[in-house]
Amino acid sequence: MSFLSDMALNQSDIEVVCGALEEWCAKNRTPLDSDGGRDAATVMLGLYKAGHGTKGSILEAMHRMNGT
Protein backbone atom coordinates (compact mmCIF):
# COMPACT_ATOMS: atom_id res chain seq x y z
CA MET A 1 0.00 0.00 0.00
CA SER A 2 1.36 3.41 -0.91
CA PHE A 3 1.59 6.39 1.41
CA LEU A 4 -0.94 8.37 -0.64
CA SER A 5 -3.55 5.63 -0.67
CA ASP A 6 -3.11 5.23 3.09
CA MET A 7 -3.84 8.94 3.59
CA ALA A 8 -6.80 9.12 1.18
CA LEU A 9 -10.03 10.28 2.81
CA ASN A 10 -13.57 10.26 1.48
CA GLN A 11 -16.08 13.05 2.08
CA SER A 12 -17.53 11.53 5.27
CA ASP A 13 -14.00 11.05 6.70
CA ILE A 14 -13.23 14.69 6.02
CA GLU A 15 -16.47 15.84 7.63
CA VAL A 16 -15.74 13.87 10.82
CA VAL A 17 -12.19 15.18 11.18
CA CYS A 18 -13.08 18.76 10.20
CA GLY A 19 -16.03 18.79 12.60
CA ALA A 20 -13.79 17.68 15.45
CA LEU A 21 -11.10 20.17 14.48
CA GLU A 22 -13.52 23.09 14.27
CA GLU A 23 -15.01 22.26 17.67
CA TRP A 24 -11.60 21.78 19.28
CA CYS A 25 -10.25 25.04 17.84
CA ALA A 26 -13.32 27.00 18.97
CA LYS A 27 -13.17 25.56 22.48
CA ASN A 28 -9.43 26.24 22.76
CA ARG A 29 -9.61 29.64 21.03
CA THR A 30 -7.10 28.46 18.46
CA PRO A 31 -7.41 29.71 14.87
CA LEU A 32 -7.74 26.90 12.35
CA ASP A 33 -4.98 28.44 10.24
CA SER A 34 -2.37 28.67 12.98
CA ASP A 35 0.46 26.43 14.10
CA GLY A 36 -1.76 25.08 16.88
CA GLY A 37 -4.65 24.46 14.50
CA ARG A 38 -2.43 22.65 12.01
CA ASP A 39 -0.85 20.58 14.77
CA ALA A 40 -4.30 19.60 16.06
CA ALA A 41 -5.38 18.67 12.51
CA THR A 42 -2.36 16.42 12.12
CA VAL A 43 -3.01 14.68 15.43
CA MET A 44 -6.71 14.29 14.65
CA LEU A 45 -5.99 12.73 11.28
CA GLY A 46 -3.73 10.24 13.03
CA LEU A 47 -6.41 9.51 15.63
CA TYR A 48 -8.99 8.98 12.89
CA LYS A 49 -6.70 6.62 11.00
CA ALA A 50 -6.02 4.78 14.30
CA GLY A 51 -9.71 3.98 14.70
CA HIS A 52 -11.34 6.99 16.33
CA GLY A 53 -14.10 7.14 13.73
CA THR A 54 -16.43 9.74 15.22
CA LYS A 55 -16.09 13.39 16.12
CA GLY A 56 -16.80 12.56 19.75
CA SER A 57 -14.18 9.83 19.85
CA ILE A 58 -11.55 12.12 18.35
CA LEU A 59 -12.37 14.90 20.82
CA GLU A 60 -12.28 12.49 23.77
CA ALA A 61 -8.86 11.22 22.67
CA MET A 62 -7.61 14.80 22.31
CA HIS A 63 -8.91 15.57 25.77
CA ARG A 64 -7.06 12.58 27.23
CA MET A 65 -3.86 13.49 25.40
CA ASN A 66 -3.93 17.15 26.42
CA GLY A 67 -5.46 16.77 29.86
CA THR A 68 -7.92 19.55 29.01
Question: Can you spell out the DSSP letters for 20-55?
Answer: HHHHHHHHTT--TTSHHHHHHHHHHHHHHHTT--SH
Q: Which one is predicted more confidently, 57 or 9? A: 57
Segment 10-17 mean pLDDT: 92
Long-range contacts (CB closer than 8 Å, 24 or more residues apart) made by 10-17: 13/48, 16/48, 16/53, 16/54, 16/55, 16/58, 17/41, 17/44, 17/45, 17/48, 17/58
- What is the DSSP secondary structure assignment for residue 15, as one 8-state letter? H
Segment 5-33 mean pLDDT: 90
User: pLDDT band for position 68 (50/70/90)?
Assistant: low
User: pLDDT band for position 66 (50/70/90)?
Assistant: confident
